[in-house]
């Protein structure tokens, strides 16, 4: 039973007793009886007014609580003239003003944060309390190339993206640089924030590929140009002197040594030109090309080398035409380099397969597998696993494919086949 109900019952009982006593005592004396009844009615009126006065603050409080529960911070009360009630109204109105200002400020900050996240050049994934992805920004969707329904509501381990598999156990607040089996390089960091008193996590992923490649190109380009300049100048002067002196050398052995020195200088000059070719690689001149025809030409060029080593070299193309905008000469150089590397990884009786689809080109071999440590460095400038290798082939391949805008990777799959994968761009 509420306080209001008890109060009404008490007032009712008191006045009922007064009416009963008045009737018993004054029923014979009508003037006094009427005056007593008037006083009782006046007392009842005063009691009701007092009840309304007591109830008014409670009504204001109930209305205010209802407005706050509905998150309506626009309702304010007007002063009633009652000093005690007006004091309560002033406190409530002040509280509502502060709540409305705080809510507006939070809404503005949230709007700004949402816009900032949407426009951020860094991929951002936010997780719920169960470490499932709850939100992704446009950069994350672009980077992962996955629709929302394959991201939202899933833990990282269930998404199946090769980059995210490296980030599943990423420690909190410890940025790490991750390099995949191509040239893709990323910096990732997992952080935490408090939401309604509980910890939630987020993941930043920044792509560093273009920045690193540009820095590398500037560095090795400067070194190669300096080396080529010094070597060419020295070799040119030395060879001129040797060519002049060679006919006048009386001793045949010395004359032969001079000829060997000249030839060695020529080979050194050619060696430096190969390095310089990477720096002087021209911008692609793409034309719409029938890719199967280009692959058949490469197959014809490399088939004798494969046959001489007892290696099976095959080509698989789709029935429908596949056309791409490419620089034929540069892409032919890429394919020759990749097929040559695949053949060199194989032994007699093993296979190299060139497989073309509408959007990708795979060059597969079941030869010597590539370890994970080597795979992450294969496309580094001038890296080579061969004792006599210079690392120019894959460096040149990398530059050509990047200039064409084609994604690529090289790795050994769990089934033992090593695949060089090239994903074509859109025409």
CATH of the domain at 400: 3.30.565.10
User: Do residues 342 and 298 lie in contact, with contact meaning Cβ atoms separated by under 8 Å?
Assistant: no
Task: Write down the pLDDT at residue 182.
Answer: 62
256 and 177 housed in the same domain: no
Residue 136 falls within a domain, yes or no? yes
113 lies in some domain: no
Would you write out the chain's pLDDT as a tens digit for each of its 427 residues? 666 677 777 777 877 877 777 777 776 777 777 777 778 788 888 877 777 766 666 666 677 777 777 777 777 766 766 676 677 778 777 888 888 888 888 888 878 888 888 888 888 998 998 889 888 888 888 888 888 888 898 888 888 787 888 888 888 888 888 877 667 788 889 988 888 788 889 898 888 777 766 776 676 667 667 777 667 777 777 778 877 777 777 777 777 877 878 877 777 777 777 666 666 677 888 999 999 999 999 998 899 899 999 999 999 999 888 999 999 988 998 999 899 999 999 999 999 999 999 889 999 999 889 887 777 777 766 666 665 555 677 878 888 888 888 888 888 888 889 999 999 875 4
Q: Is 284 helix (H, G, I), strand (E, B) or coil?
A: coil
Whether the CB-CB separation of 332 and 293 falls below 8 Å is answered with: no
pLDDT at 323: 92
3-state secondary structure (DSSP) of residue 274: helix
* Residue 384 lies inside a defined structural domain of this protein: yes
Place of tokens 């598999």: 165
Check if the beta carbon of residue 250 is closer than 8 Å to that of residue 289: no
Cβ atoms of residues 281 and 320 within 8 Å: no
> 407-412 and 418-423: which strand pairing?
antiparallel
Q: What is the pLDDT of residue 174?
A: 86
Other CB atoms within 10 Å distance of the CB of residue 147: 9
Task: Quote the CA–CA distance of 277 and 225 in Å, as a whole number.
Answer: 10
- In this structure, the answer to whether residues 274 and 291 fall within a common structural domain is no
Which of 279, 312, 335 terminates a domain? The answer is 279
Task: From 50, 82, 107, give the residue that closes a domain.
Answer: 107
Say if 36 falls within a structural domain. Answer: yes
Q: How far is residue 274's CA from residue 217's CA, in Å, rounded to a whole number? A: 15
Range(s) of the domain holding residue 377 = 287-423
The Cα angle at residue 114 between residues 162 and 170, in degrees rounded to 5? 30
Residue 147 and residue 20 share a domain = no
Cβ count within 10 A of residue 342: 27
Clarify whether residues 19 and 70 are in a common domain: yes
Residues 15 and 97 grouped into a single domain: yes
- At residue 427, the pLDDT reads 43
Same domain, 149 and 125: yes
Largest CA distance in the chain: 169
351-356/312-316 β-pairing: parallel
Residues 6+ apart with CB under 8 A from 384: 390, 391, 394
pLDDT at 419: 93
Is 114 domain-assigned? Answer: no
pLDDT at residue 329, as a whole number = 87
Residues 202 and 225 in one domain: no
Same domain, 416 and 296: yes
Q: Same domain, yes or no, for 90 and 191?
A: no
Domain with residue 167: its CATH number is: 3.30.450.20
- Whether 355 is in a domain gets the answer yes
Which pair of tokens denotes residue 233? 């100048």
- Domain-ending residue, one of 237, 262, 279: 279
pLDDT the model gives residue 362: 95
Distances in whole angstroms, Cα of residue 175 to Cα of each of 103, 165, 172, 182 = 34, 16, 8, 21
In total, how many domains does the chain have?
4
My answer on whether 192 and 155 are in the same domain is yes
Taking a C-beta distance cutoff of 8 angstroms, is the pair 90, 57 a contact? no
Q: What is the pTM of this model?
A: 0.55
H or E segment at 298?
Answer: helix 291-308
Please name the helix (run of DSSP H) or strand (run of DSSP E) that holds residue 15, with its range, or none.
helix 3-26
Is position 115 within any domain?
A: no
Same domain, 299 and 400: yes
The rounded distance, in Å, linking the Cα atoms of 322 and 290 is: 6
The answer to whether residues 379 and 314 belong to one domain is yes
């Amino acid at each position: 039973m509420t306080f209001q109900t008890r109060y009404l019952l008490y007032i009712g009982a008191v006045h009922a007793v007064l009416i009963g006593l008045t009737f018993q005592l004054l029923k014979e004396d009508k003037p006094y009886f009427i005056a007593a009844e008037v006083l009782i009615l006046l007392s009842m009126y005063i009691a009701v007014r007092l009840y309304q006065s007591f109830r008014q603050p409670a009504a204001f409080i109930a209305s205010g609580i209802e407005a706050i529960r509905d998150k309506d911070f626009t309702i304010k009360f007007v002063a009633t003239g009652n000093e005690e009630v007006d004091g309560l109204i002033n406190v409530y109105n002040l509280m509502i003003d502060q709540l409305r200002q705080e809510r507006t400020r939070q809404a503005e900050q949230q709007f700004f944060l949402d816009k900032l996240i949407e426009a951020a050049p860094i991929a951002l994934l936010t997780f719920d309390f169960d470490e499932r992805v709850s939100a992704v920004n446009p950069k994350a969707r672009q980077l992962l190339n996955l629709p929302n329904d394959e991201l939202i509501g899933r833990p990282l381990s269930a998404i199946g993206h090769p980059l995210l598999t490296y980030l599943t156990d990423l420690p909190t607040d410890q940025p790490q640089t991750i390099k995949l089996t191509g040239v893709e390089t990323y910096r990732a960091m997992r952080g935490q924030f408090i939401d309604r008193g509980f910890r939630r996590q987020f993941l930043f992923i920044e792509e560093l590929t273009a920045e690193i490649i540009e820095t590398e190109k500037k560095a090795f380009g400067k070194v190669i140009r300096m080396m080529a300049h010094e070597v060419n100048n020295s070799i040119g002067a030395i060879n001129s002197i040797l060519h002049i002196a060679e006919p006048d050398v009386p001793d045949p052995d010395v004359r032969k040594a001079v000829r060997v020195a000249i030839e060695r200088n020529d080979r050194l000059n050619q060696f430096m030109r190969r390095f310089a070719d990477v720096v002087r690689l021209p911008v692609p001149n793409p034309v719409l090309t029938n890719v199967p025809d280009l692959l058949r030409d490469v197959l014809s060029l490399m088939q004798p080398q494969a046959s001489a080593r007892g290696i099976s070299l095959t080509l698989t193309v789709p029935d429908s035409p596949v056309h791409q905008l490419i620089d034929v000469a540069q892409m032919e150089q890429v394919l020759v380099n990749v097929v040559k590397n695949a053949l060199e990884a194989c032994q007699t009786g093993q296979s190299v397969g060139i497989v073309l689809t509408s959007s990708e080109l795979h060059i597969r071999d079941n030869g010597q597998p590539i370890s994970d440590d080597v795979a992450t460095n294969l496309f580094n400038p001038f890296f080579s696993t061969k004792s006599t290798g210079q690392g120019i082939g894959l460096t040149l391949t990398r530059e050509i494919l990047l200039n064409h805008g084609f994604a690529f990777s090289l790795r050994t799959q769990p089934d033992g086949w090593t695949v060089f994968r090239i994903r074509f761009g859109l025409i």
